[in-house]
Amino acid sequence: MRVPHSLFKAYDIRRTYPDEINTQTVYAIARAYATFLTTTHKRDAEAMTVVVGADARVSSPELFREAARGLSKNGIDVIDIGEVSTPIFYFAVRHFRAHGGVMVTASHNPANYNGLKLTREEAIPIGQDSGLHDIKRFAEEEHFSQPENAGAMRKENIWQAYVEHTIHDIKITKSLKVVIDAGNGMAGAVVPRILPRFSMLETTPLFFDIDFTFPNHEANPIKAKNVAALRRKVTEINADIGVAYDGDCDRVGFVTEEGVTVPGDIITALIAQELLKKHPRATILYDLRSSRIVKETIEAYGGRAVETRVGHAFIKKQMRNEDALFAGELSSHFYYQEEGYVENSDRTMLLILELLSRSGKKLSELVKPLHKYFQSGEINSKVKDMPTVLRELKKTYRDAEHYELDGLTVRYPDWWFNVRTSNTEPVIRLNLEANTYNLMAKKRDEVLVLIRSQK
């Protein structure tokens, strides 16, 4: 069958429902994925098990059913874990020692979107360079396994095991007032199962009713407008911290007691220095958009800092290759070796709360030393000809150091920038940092003129 090329992103499948992703495409993709697994593992489908979960979007139940039906038709046994967050899904794949997993979700995207996250064993993600291209081809060619018997389906409740795993060594001994913005996403189901286990926490919930039409704001914590209500509530009730989740809970953002948003790279540095106190000389990864303070912090605490390209599939693969303890992205994805090199945003939240409790300091005090440089934030531009943009930037800044790990990074002693194409949108993204605000503003505007003059 024809599978829209636009469905397949760099590291997942995501598009509008029902025009591009629907019951027919999901069924075909599930069968193609099953064929991919049996081919990769070189074993019969009857000996394989796949975990299937979904978020609470209106379209998720029927797409879930078609994913499970497609897998079963190919002879694979299906473990149905129901409506869950993405971190719970990852945990379940490992917990049940499954050969793979299918998560029906479009994360923070609007209500008319849905998608699939596909993994191998140990929740290893399947991206374009690790199987998605083959799965698309199998689906288009209807190259499916034809076993004699359909796979079995069984329901499993993973919630209790996940909660116990996530909280097992966290100690919060100081009273803290916490505001949580679930964004009407899956955090509305997850957080009420976790935070009541800590008696010292006084929690104020925002938007915990699960509603993937996102009636209050987009469930994307890295956009300022989406944490406006959280910031107001934190200062209104004199809370110690604000926490914001995205729709499927694989990202989490933080707000200080002053109502100031903490960037994801600063949280990476903060967690890195705490983990390195317990695990000296460990390797920690950070994406190339991150502030220079991240590398400096990791090295100051005795760790090995490794820069990575952007995107969860790439980072998870490199974490395994480097045997990394932890990794963080500017986009507020945080990954842990102990979690199988995947995200656990609930764990991230608890680690920050534990740090506040143990240190006795305010979050603003903890992050202040890390705000050493001045950043532009991520700025998007629509450009038709990316190669021309890169040539002009290389020519203009030919006296700088150039790196092409992901797009183009240009480095000078007192400022740097990266431009890269988006993996999810038809834009290029600029991130720029400098030693002073004035230099940052000057160079930001200078680079943007060069980029946007190539339209």
The residues annotated as belonging to the active site are 107
Q: What is the DSSP letter of 293?
A: H
Please name every residue paired with 328 in a beta bridge, in sequence order, or none if there are none.
286, 334
Residue in 96, 86, 78, 93 with CA at minimum distance from that of residue 124: 93
Instruction: Report yes or no: 431 and 376 within 8 Å, Cβ to Cβ.
Output: yes
- The separation between CA 109 and the C-alpha centre of its own chain, rounded to angstroms, equals 13
Residue 341's nearest CA partner among 121, 138, 78, 56 is: 121
The answer to whether 80 touches 92, Cβ cutoff 8 Å, is: no
Cα 203 to chain centroid distance, Å, stands at: 24
- Is the separation of the CB atoms in 414 and 434 below 8 Å? yes
Q: Give the helix, strand, coil percentages of the chain, each rounded to 5.
A: 40, 20, 35
Distance CA 411, CA 408 (A): 10
230 CB burial (10 A radius; 0-12, 13-18, 19+) = buried
Please provide residue 282's backbone torsions phi and psi, each rounded to the nearest 5 degrees. -70, 155
Name every residue whose Cβ is closer than 8 Å to that of residue 254 and which is 6 or more positions away in sequence. Answer: 241, 242, 243, 244, 261, 262, 267, 352, 363
